Amino acid sequence: MHQVVVFIALYLGYVGCLPHSRVRPNVVMVMSDAFDGRLTFDPGSEVVQLPYINYLREMGTTFLEAYTNSPICCPSRAAMWSGRFVHLTQSWNNYKCLDGNATTWMDLLEKNGYQMRRFGKLDYTSGSHSVSNRVEAWTRDVRFLLSQEGRPVTELVGNASTLRVMTKDWETTDRAAQWIRDAAARLPQPFALYLGLNLPHTYKTDSLGPTGGGSTFRTSPYWLKKVSFDLISIPKWLPMAAMHPVDYYSTFTKNCSGEFSQEEIRNIRAFYYAMCAEADAMLGQVLAALRSAGLLDNTVVMFTADHGDLAMEHRQYYKMSMFEGSAHVPLLIMGPGLASGLQSNQTVSLVDLYPTVLELAGVPAPGDLSGHSLLPLLSRSGARPPQLHPGWALSEYHGCNANASTYMLRKGQWKYIAYADGQSIPPQLFDLTLDKKELHNVVAKFPQVGAYMEEQLRNIVAYPDVSQAVQLYNKQQFMSWQKSLGSNYTQVIANLRWHVDWQRDVSANEKAVQDWLSGT
């Protein structure tokens, strides 16, 4: 009998030291849209007040080197929800992502006894976003250069007491918080809740019409007061002539090739930071609901984003770039049995969240995942030897505003960016230890490092083959769309987001499209 008691005591002690314990934790993920991950740690965090992100920093782990697997909404979220790289799911653009019946980590949790609740922006299945968005992605190899976005602008609304600017996000957050307070505490089983926010994604610019795109940074004086204007940096720009050809294309198509005053740039950045502060407050609503419901001590809370926003770095706004402002995402995780106040230098990416959540819940992971569980990096006890994470992150991009498939390998101090077939467009190499602003492409200076990173990248993905597959897909999709329009094609293509530039030389633009389709 004594031996049985000792065995039970030892067993309970062993289980109690596991991060997920005998009582499986609840899981809450708040995913923002376009939140620059560098704002979640110093010195970036000093420019804007983010009290609830700071709370997660103090109570959990902050990943200092977390990256998106694709710097655009739908493909990035497809990677997070599926746990697989973009080239494996063929999530080529905001229109082509996962099938509706794809198995997400939430689906597996539900099959294993969790109560599921999803609120807000999911945005990972095929078929969404505007016609302009997909046509611009399909035609990126066409030999024309057309502005596709509105010039970035700022808009101040409300007054010093206007807290709710993005009302849709607040309404979604209210529903999530209400469910936590009213229903979650009474559940007989653990729950997993996902809250997807639009902020700090830019707003549509109404004056540009329904196809104008989102180029307005909008906030109120209430949130602008959270920003330290004297700490806002004015990013240095390379001359247009010195830009990498893909960066040049992105700058032009994003309507950023014109002149900007320092005041304009500072305001755009300030408004963006204020929008981040508003998103942080929504995270705070979720944390407050968990606390009031008595659930905070048994809930793993994660905050992340699909990508960042360049906010006028590298003469661009928006995403669609491998520069840090676009590709670096926030990732903070706190919960029972997990380390607090920890900053991890491990390079990770969004595909790692799928196996992490499953391990937290004690659910076996499928064998075809691209990511690795982060739980060994989060464990407070030293009892579990850390499983080796590969220590690199892969991001790829195949959508609009970039005229070539783009592949980024982040490893150690280096960021390596390859394009298309690896031959026709030169690669880029940045030493992020010495060049945090990514202004000096050193691929020619360090050819051995470039060759090593190229080899490592090709060991992960045969990217020239992927680029070729995307090019074929783009042509097929465009021809199918063109055929579906019949006699309306000429009018429709001339009135997409690029309509101002298109009208300057209609015949030349039409010829460029036909030359592309015919391969001439």
Residues with active-site annotation:
73
Tell me whether residue 362 is exposed, middle or buried, using C-beta atoms within 10 angstroms of its C-beta: 0 to 12, 13 to 18, 19 or more: middle
Residues 35 and 58: their CA atoms lie apart, in Å, by 20
Cα gap 126→499, rounded to integer Å: 26
Report helix, strand or coil for 124: coil
Strands, E, within 326-470: which ranges? 331-334, 342-349, 392-397, 406-411, 414-419, 428-431
Q: Quick check: bond before 43 cis, omega within 30?
A: yes
Please give the distance of CA 401 from its chain centroid, rounded to a whole number.
16
How far is 403 from 145, CA to CA, in rounded Å? 10
Helix axes 463-485, 131-138, angle to 10 degrees: 130
Interatomic CA distance for residues 28 and 173, integer angstroms: 13
Provide φ and ψ at 82, rounded to 5°. -95, -20
> 333 by DSSP, 3-state: which?
strand
Per-residue DSSP letters for 38-65? GGGSTTGGGGB--HHHHHHHHHSEEEEE
* Helix extents (H) in 210-335: 221-224, 245-253, 262-292, 324-327
Name the DSSP class of 408: E
The count of residues in the chain is 520
Given the structure tokens 């609503």, which residue do they identify?
A: 285
User: Are 51 and 332 a contacting pair, CB within 8 Å?
Assistant: no
Residue 315, phi then psi, degrees to nearest 5: 55, 40
Q: CA–CA distance from 356 to each of 25, 30, 139, 147, 345 (Å)?
A: 13, 15, 37, 41, 17
Helix (H) or strand (E) holding 215: strand 214-219
